[in-house]
């Protein structure tokens, strides 16, 4: 599922989800930004369960790095236990915590990591799907446990990887959500984009 259109990230409606940062010769990166800044130029905001910004995750724009070096958090900070969220995802988090009225949703789609969050948000936008996209990282299950007022009419589709880590995330989400919420494992990689 990982391919996404980098050009889509330049659209105004996606600027709150992720940004492609300028090269270091055009911007004086702060000392806390992951080094080297010319490599870590894709940034995604990480949110608390109430929808407020908590941190940032930086992603390498080079494909030749080892998996352990592809993502970084700002020096001295962590994004563990937070959630990535597209616009509808943030609205959903705020509504569940009572700060906003919940708009009509088809489902909340839970992804694994930065790139799958961007990809599913892009698919939802392109095909006009009413999905709230939430991305998990290590420790995000605690964020789901705090969403005890999740409305039972809003299903949760878990679209994590089909490996051991993805299976573990899917089980954690199912166990964390209130009884009565429909939790379904979905595999978007085997479908045409926009289909469900």
* 185-194 per-position pLDDT tens digit: 998 765 444 4
Of 79, 96, 131, the residue that ends a domain is 79
Do 73 and 141 lie in one domain? The reply is no
Cα distances (angstroms) measured from residue 13 to each of 16, 54, 86, 122, 126: 7, 21, 10, 10, 11
Average pLDDT score over residue span 156-164: 92
- What is the enclosing helix (H) or strand (E) of 30? none
The whole-number average pLDDT for the span 148-165 is 91
Contact call for residues 102 and 90 (beta carbons, < 8 A): no
176 — pLDDT class (breaks 50, 70, 90): very high
Statement: residue 196 has pLDDT above 50: no
Same domain, 90 and 111: yes
Domain C-terminal end among 79, 100, 119 = 79
pLDDT in tens, 23-64: 999 999 999 999 999 999 999 899 999 999 998 899 998 889
Same domain, 90 and 174: yes
Dist CA 46 CA 18 (whole Å): 10
66 and 104 co-located in one domain: no
Please tell me the predicted confidence (pLDDT) of residue 88.
92
Read off the pLDDT of residues 106-151 as tens digits, 9 standing for 90 and up. Answer: 999 999 888 888 888 888 888 889 999 999 988 888 899 988 889 9
Q: Is the previous residue joined to 36 through a cis bond, with omega within 30 degrees of 0?
A: yes
Whole-number mean pLDDT of the chain?
85
Average pLDDT over residues 94-112: 85
Q: What are phi and psi of 38, to 5 degrees?
A: -70, -15
Task: Look at residues 61, 128, 119 and name the one whose alpha carbon lies nearest to residue 86.
Answer: 119
Statement to judge: residues 72 and 104 lie in one domain: no
- Decide if 95 is inside a domain: yes
pTM: 0.86
Of 79, 101, 125, the last residue of a domain is 79
- Token duo for residue 59: 């992603």
Domain that holds residue 69: 6-79
CATH value at residue 182: 3.40.1360.10
32 found inside a domain = yes
Count of structural domains, the chain: 2
């Amino acid at each position: 599922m990982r391919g996404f259109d980098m050009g889509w990230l330049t659209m105004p409606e996606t600027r709150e989800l992720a940004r492609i940062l300028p090269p270091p010769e055009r911007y004086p990166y702060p000392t806390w930004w992951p080094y080297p800044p010319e490599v870590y130029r894709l940034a995604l905001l990480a949110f608390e369960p109430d929808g407020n910004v908590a941190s940032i995750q930086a992603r390498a724009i080079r494909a030749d790095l080892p998996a352990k070096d592809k993502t970084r958090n700002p020096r001295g900070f962590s994004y563990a236990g937070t959630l990535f969220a597209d616009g509808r995802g943030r609205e959903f988090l705020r509504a569940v915590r009572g700060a906003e009225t919940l708009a009509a949703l088809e489902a909340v789609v839970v992804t694994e990591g930065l790139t799958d969050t961007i990809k599913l948000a892009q698919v939802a936008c392109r095909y006009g799907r009413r999905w709230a996209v939430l991305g998990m990282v290590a420790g995000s299950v605690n964020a789901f446990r705090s969403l005890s007022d999740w409305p039972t009419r809003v299903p949760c589709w878990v679209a994590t990887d089909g490996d051991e880590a993805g299976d573990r995330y899917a089980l954690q989400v199912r166990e964390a959500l209130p009884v009565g919420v429909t939790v379904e494992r979905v595999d978007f990689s085997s479908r045409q984009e926009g289909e469900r």
